[in-house]
Amino acid sequence: NEFIVLSFEDWASQDYNDVMFNVWSNPIEAIIPPDMPSVDPEDPDDQSIAYKMTYKGILAFEDNWPSKGDYDLNDVIVKYNSVLSFNTKNQVLSTEDTFTAMWSGALFKNGFAYQMNTERANVEECDFTEGKSAWGSQGLDNELGQATVAVFANAIEETGSNTKTSAFKIRNKFKQPVDHETFGVAPYNSFIFLHQNTGKDRTEVHLVNHKPTDKVNTALFGSQQDLSDTDKGIYYVSDQNYPFAIHLADVETFNTEEKESIDRSYPRFASWAKSGGKADKDWYLKK
């Protein structure tokens, strides 16, 4: 993925994570290959691609929110691989996102979508080059001001009751480049919506402290085992910092035991969650 990481060992543990950093350079500021299109660094609307970055990982959701339910965190498992194209100002020009429905350990018919940090009006193209959107030929949700893509509406159907996987490739091109810090990176604000409900007053499950869309049923926040405090910007978290959705960056495979709480399947999950993600960051590597 054109991503170089240097890792150092400073003692005898041989875990090679005492110091880690990645090496990256902007080719425009270094050596311009002869076949690279010319760009004007003073042009505020620069649409020429200077470099690309690839992001990948796995998302897993618990659909019993605001209750923890069985808390096996495998009601919807989605794998993603996203390529973001940037100009010379580190602004995002376009994205090419592949989301693959890997597993559905749920009785509910759950859909999957993602929201990008730019206005819908700024999306020039939203094309499904592989797979079909939850709204048929329509990619973007025309009822939301922020660019929101409904990928699929029923994880059970897309996984064939866990006998197959289904991939969806979406290309989004922006009318005006979006600043990298504003836009963020994949997997953006990914979420599931329950019962195939693409309309209003629906139940959505997002990653911790990721805001829901304007279609969410706000009455559910702070109920049952959910400890969201919308006034403080706290969303989708339970006691002991337990999340209702997790993001595993750069991970290729992940599974949990059906109907078994994830902190039993993965004993180090509890310390990771309680520490706010600071301890046992590789909890998912050992059951």
Reported confidence tier of residue 30, pLDDT bands at 50, 70, 90: low
Q: What is the mean pLDDT of residues 86-94?
A: 93
Residue 62: inside a domain: yes
Q: For residue 21, what pLDDT is reported?
A: 85
> Whose structure tokens read 């429905």?
101
Q: In what order do the strands lie in the sheet with 91-103?
A: 123-130, 166-179, 91-103, 76-86, 51-61, 245-249
Which residues are CB-neighbours of 91 under 8 A, at least 6 positions away? 46, 177, 178, 179, 180
Task: Tell me whether the omega of the peptide bond preceding residue 212 falls within 30 degrees of 0, making it cis.
Answer: no
Give the whole-angstrom CA distance, residue 281 versus residue 267.
12
Comparing C-alpha atoms, which of 48, 33, 54 is closest to residue 93? 48
Peptide bond preceding 37 in cis form (omega within 30 of 0): no
List, for residues 127-152, the tens digit of each pLDDT value.
Answer: 999 998 877 667 899 999 999 999 99
Percent residues over pLDDT 90 in the chain = 76
Q: How many domains are there within the chain?
A: 1
**What CA–CA distance (Å, rounded) separates 203 from 194?**
6
Tally of residues, the chain: 287
Task: Judge whether 148 lies within some domain.
Answer: yes
User: What is the tens place of the pLDDT at every residue in 155-196?
Assistant: 999 999 999 999 999 999 999 999 999 999 999 999 999 999
Is the pLDDT score of 67 beyond 70? yes
The sheet that has 204-206: what strands, in order across it?
A: 146-152, 111-119, 189-193, 204-206
Range in 44-48, 145-149, 205-209 with the lowest mean pLDDT: 44-48
Pairing of strands 166-179, 123-130: antiparallel
Indicate whether 115 pLDDT > 80.
yes
Average pLDDT over residues 222-247: 96
Give the model confidence (pLDDT) of 251-279 as tens digits.
999 999 999 999 999 999 999 999 999 99
| Measured distance CA(121)–CA(86) in Å, rounded | 20
Residue 29 lies in a domain: no
**How far apart, in whole angstroms, are the C-alpha atoms of residue 262 and residue 71?**
6
Does residue 2 belong to any structural domain of this protein? Answer: no
Over residues 15-43, the mean pLDDT reads 63
pLDDT at 134: 76
| CA gap 103, 124 in Å, rounded | 32
The whole-model pTM stands at 0.84
Measured CA angle at 267 (ends 263, 269), to 5 deg: 60
39 falls in which pLDDT band (50, 70, 90)? very low
In a domain, 10, yes or no: no
Q: Is residue 273 part of a domain?
A: yes
Whether residue 4 is contained in a domain is answered as no
275 is a domain residue = yes
Average pLDDT, the chain: 90
In whole angstroms, give the CA distance from residue 231 to residue 169. 36
Instruction: Supply the range of the domain harboring residue 259.
Output: 49-285
Q: What is the pLDDT of residue 218?
A: 96
Q: What pLDDT score does 236 carry? A: 98
One-letter amino acid of 226: D
